Amino acid sequence: MKKRATIVDVAKECGVSQATVARVLSGQTGIRTKESTRKRVLEAAKKVGYQRNAIAANFRLQKTNSIAVSIADITNPFFPELVKGIQEVLRDAGYSVVQLYNDWDADVEQEHFDYMVRTCVEGAIISPSASTTGFDALQSTPFVLLSNSDKFAMHDTVGNDSRSGMRLALERLYQLGHRRIALFVGGSMRSGSNWRAELFREFHRERGLSVDPELILESDYGVSSTSSFAAARKIMNSFLDRPDLPTAIFSSNDILALATLQVANEKGIDVPGRLSVVGMDGIFSGEVSYPPLTTVQKNRREIGRTAALALLDKIKASEDGPARRQLLSCKLLERGSMGPAMTGSQD
């Protein structure tokens, strides 16, 4: 392997001191250098293939121009579009992005926080692996959390208004005549699903409807998307065999909804004639499923862009201000997997 060219090689090539070479190549303007000398140095640098070691230079200045992005699940199709939004903003601002994922392991997550401090990243955007995640290691590092949980109220957060999004779906199902709706929660989240069950019950109470406890289903939490899909299929293989099926199932994410849709298709259950299926997130797979999945769409790229802009504001701020919580609205994308309740199915 060819050895990396250094300022020593440049100095030998053009016959000037290493100090002069360093001044020219670093762009220092405090000490004037003859134009002829500057050209000799630049020509020599090009000839020997010298490239400035930006990492070393930045560490000397305690400035790395890098931002860490930490997520729990690299297999979750929710994140690519979100990270794309982050990168768009940070690239324009002159930053590079270091991506880290912890596979829902809290210890690995803390190791990544230590890594961020050791490598002097200038900020971090973090999707916490759990509601109990601690950030003491990042006291000197500006960070923004990707979360809509009240449990992180003391930190700057950016997330979706998932509560309003879930209500959009339930209200539309109600308009379509559905009175027996199931709730399916779990998947790529460690916690935070209690509010979904509470909102589900509240929605029914407001309309004078009872809730069958057997229609609130839970799958595994804090697992990869592939494991989540497999677990959801197993649950639905049993649930969809019951004689008293609901007329609709709302799932807390599209992975659970797609597993439900796939099992329904395999069992010959007419979707949406007999069973409506609604998900949440708006991942691409829902567009190409059969039938196409109705979903509560989250604007993932805009979430990423908003989080990146919020982090840049924190980096520029001379002192910490009050924690800022930003919630982006969701919208219901009605596709082929949702329709009117089957005649005679209402309670």
What pLDDT does 188 receive?
60
What pLDDT does 192 receive?
53
Nearest alpha carbon to residue 204 among 184, 177, 180: 180
Average per-residue pLDDT for the chain:
90
- Say which residue, 321 or 205, is predicted with more confidence: 205
What pLDDT does 10 receive?
87
Question: 324 CB contacts (<8 Å, ≥6 apart)?
Answer: 156, 157, 310
Mean pLDDT over 65-85 rounds to 93
pLDDT range class, residue 31, cuts 50, 70, 90: low
Percent over 90 (pLDDT), the chain: 67
Identity of the amino acid at 240: L
Which residues are bridge partners to 66 per DSSP?
96
Mean pLDDT over 123-150 rounds to 93
DSSP E strand stretches across the chain: 66-71, 96-101, 123-126, 143-146, 157-160, 181-187, 216-221, 248-251, 276-281, 294-297, 325-328, 331-333
Whether the predicted pLDDT of 52 surpasses 90: no
- Say which residue, 263 or 5, is predicted with more confidence: 263
What pLDDT does 239 receive?
98
CA distance 170 to 39: 70
What pLDDT does 190 receive?
52
What pLDDT does 246 receive?
97
CA distance 151 to 25: 49
**What is this structure's pTM?**
0.81
pLDDT range class, residue 6, cuts 50, 70, 90: confident
Q: What is the largest CA-CA distance in the chain?
A: 93
Sheet-wide strand order for 123-126: 96-101, 66-71, 123-126, 143-146, 157-160, 325-328
What pLDDT does 169 receive?
98
Asked whether 116 and 66 are in contact (CB, 8 A), the reply is: no
pLDDT range class, residue 62, cuts 50, 70, 90: low
- Unique residue bearing structure tokens 């006291």: 139
CA distance 274 to 247: 6
Nearest alpha carbon to residue 102 among 14, 6, 224: 224
Which residues are bridge partners to 123 per DSSP?
67
Whether the predicted pLDDT of 222 surpasses 70: no
| Cα dihedral 83/291/165/172 (nearest 10) | 170
* Chain segment 83-134, per-residue pLDDT in tens: 999 999 999 999 999 999 999 899 999 999 999 998 889 999 999 998 889 9
Which residues are bridge partners to 184 per DSSP?
217, 251
Q: Classify 160 as helix, strand or coil.
A: strand
Nearest alpha carbon to residue 2 among 38, 49, 41: 49
Identity of the amino acid at 201: R
CA distance 250 to 185: 9
Asked whether 170 and 332 are in contact (CB, 8 A), the reply is: no
- Say which residue, 7 or 295, is predicted with more confidence: 295
* Chain segment 246-305, per-residue pLDDT in tens: 999 999 999 999 999 999 999 999 999 999 999 999 999 999 999 999 999 999 999 999
pLDDT range class, residue 17, cuts 50, 70, 90: confident
CA distance 140 to 134: 14
- Distance of CA 130 to CAs 71, 118, 203, Å? 11, 23, 27
CA distance 18 to 32: 15
Whether the predicted pLDDT of 145 surpasses 90: yes
pLDDT range class, residue 347, cuts 50, 70, 90: very low
Q: What are phi and psi of 303, to 5 degrees?
A: -60, -45
